[in-house]
Structure 1
């Protein structure tokens, strides 16, 4: 009897907290009403590595780790470590906010249980499905309801205290925050001058970095690698040395070199940081030649050169690195 009352308490506490949290969060964001089919589709998404996969696209959705936070970790007297991971759910097409995905993981069995928490404007069927999950799935796993209730209550308390996610003026995550990446075969310049495909780069690898303040190239360590899956259009710019364009020799110019990335990846131009998709013909980017940055002018721009299913991005200690010898910036 005592166990049943406790389970009932956690069930109602979790349901009420969820409703309050959804109203508070989605009142601040550009949201869309989640449908029951969307809820089922999100529940079916498999995340290979919960600790590393903090952002990716799948099945028409974007999953982005809530507030970029690590998992909530609980260790009860039974010695079992339990974790809760939170992801924001967006539509991939227009980045409308749909809700939250809470994933419970049992450290002993490795079993995971997803709970899709609809936004306040979701259809009734989606909310009914979430409540059913709380009752029929949550109650069967010891410790699940208490951990989930704590996490949602903690987030609600933070919002009431004035905390919020990183948002634009309307509260919604900007679409520009996503898709800062390169195709798998993008050549990253290593410290010894050789190149390696970005898909083969590992954390702690030493690549050639660039110090924007001193304008000097120097080795730098890779601190993080982001891998995203979905459908990504790449933008291309063709570059030619400014010196050759100015000289216009009769011998002819060297073939223009191509830099490809998602449109929002930042590059270094003569006027500062700029998204690749905003770069226009005539602007100047910088390429590494013998350890020095050399000005290259954009001679051609193509908004969509190809479409790929997997893209990669590096974070470095220097904040900038070389792709195909062209200086690109960390996102």
Structure 2
């Protein structure tokens, strides 16, 4: 009887904390739309598989953007049963217009490897979405010992932080700037066209054919631009900072005769734009010296490997930035393979 009452109390606390947190977050989002998450969207987000919960803090999948909530690391709980439990929180946005929909809370049992996702709708979500979330709390959450107590603690703790004025980088109303969820290049970033010529990204238009990259076959292939995004800053405080990496051919770096080395090539982008490395997709700002990327080889009309010889977090600031969306999901900037956001 006592256990049943305790479970009921935890369930109620979790539901109340969730509702209050979602209302508070939605109230802080300046760009919130009148309608929120649907039950279909909730199911789609639940189905997203995250390869590495500790490293994958920001990514796009199935038409959504998942961004680690306030850049928090996982909440870690070590109970007396010897099992480590973790809770990860992500904000959920639509990829098309970065409309905020709610939160994704992921529970992980480190011993069994069991992972349970809970999609927490925003306050303006459809009633059916809220019903689906409450069902998950009841019929999924209560079956895993320790899940409800950890989830309740995390949501209550975040709610307390919001009420006390805590939070990460904010603009008016407390919401993150929409530009923080975009990935972009400076206006003069050179895009390699399908014929091998180069064009500034600010002059590339929807429907243009550029040189894309097929990650499965590891070959270059023409691809159409399906969308061009442009973001313009307002005032000095809104400028976009460009990070930089310098690249050099690996065959030159390993040559005995170093007198004829060409100068390293500079590539610039916002820190969160993804680039293809030998170890997979990485945000531009996370690239380290010594890592390998893929570069266009005009002689073979294919790609060759270049090594990063230097990095810098801020090269310059620009007032406008551009992003391309392609059919292939990858294209060339500065003759280096970069990925769609």
Tell me which interval the TM-score lies in, with the shorter structure as reference length. 0.5 to 0.7
Cα pair 1:204 1:222 within 8 Å, conserved:
no
State the partner residue of 2:247.
189
2:278 to 178, 190, 200: 200
What TM-score, normalized to structure 2?
Answer: 0.61
State the partner residue of 1:237.
none
Q: Distance in 2 between matches of 1:15 and 1:274?
A: 44
What TM-score, normalized to structure 1?
Answer: 0.62
Cα 1:324–1:275, aligned 2, differ >3 Å: closer, same or farther?
Answer: farther
Gaps of 5+ in 2: 186-211, 221-244, 254-262, 268-274, 281-286, 293-307, 337-341
State the partner residue of 2:38.
35
Deviation at 1:96, TM superposition (A): 0.9
State the partner residue of 2:101.
98
State the partner residue of 2:165.
162
Cα 1:174–1:310, aligned 2, differ >3 Å: closer, same or farther?
Answer: farther
Structure 1 residue matching 2:116: 3-state secondary structure: strand
Gaps of 5+ in 1: 209-217, 224-265, 278-302, 313-321, 326-331
Cα pair 2:247 2:310 within 8 Å, conserved:
no
1:309 to 319, 329, 332: 329
State the partner residue of 2:226.
none
State the partner residue of 2:176.
173
Cα pair 2:277 2:291 within 8 Å, conserved:
no
Cα 1:165–1:119, aligned 2, differ >3 Å: closer, same or farther?
Answer: farther
Cα pair 1:188 1:323 within 8 Å, conserved:
no
Count of matched residue positions in the alignment of Structure 1 and Structure 2: 237
Cα 1:311–1:97, aligned 2, differ >3 Å: closer, same or farther?
Answer: farther
Deviation at 1:103, TM superposition (A): 0.2
Cα 1:144–1:125, aligned 2, differ >3 Å: closer, same or farther?
Answer: same
Deviation at 1:165, TM superposition (A): 3.8
State the partner residue of 1:45.
48
Q: Distance in 2 between matches of 1:82 and 1:305?
A: 38
Whether 1:134 and 2:141 are equivalent positions in the alignment is no
Q: Distance in 2 between matches of 1:96 and 1:81?
A: 34
State the partner residue of 1:6.
6
Cα 1:31–1:207, aligned 2, differ >3 Å: closer, same or farther?
Answer: same
Q: Distance in 1 between matches of 2:83 and 2:330?
A: 35
Cα 1:94–1:10, aligned 2, differ >3 Å: closer, same or farther?
Answer: same
2:79 to 76, 98, 102: 76
Structure 2 residue matching 1:206: 3-state secondary structure: coil
Cα pair 2:14 2:151 within 8 Å, conserved:
yes
Structure 1 residue matching 2:329: 3-state secondary structure: strand
Q: Distance in 1 between matches of 2:118 and 2:325?
A: 38
Cα pair 2:289 2:309 within 8 Å, conserved:
no
Deviation at 1:38, TM superposition (A): 0.7
Q: Distance in 1 between matches of 2:312 and 2:117?
A: 32
Q: Distance in 2 between matches of 1:140 and 1:98?
A: 27
Deviations 1:271-318 (A, max 9, x none): x445443xxxxxxxxxxxxxxxxxxxxxxxxx8584542699xxxxxx
**Range 138-147 or range 192-201, more displaced:** 192-201
Structure 2 residue matching 1:42: 3-state secondary structure: helix
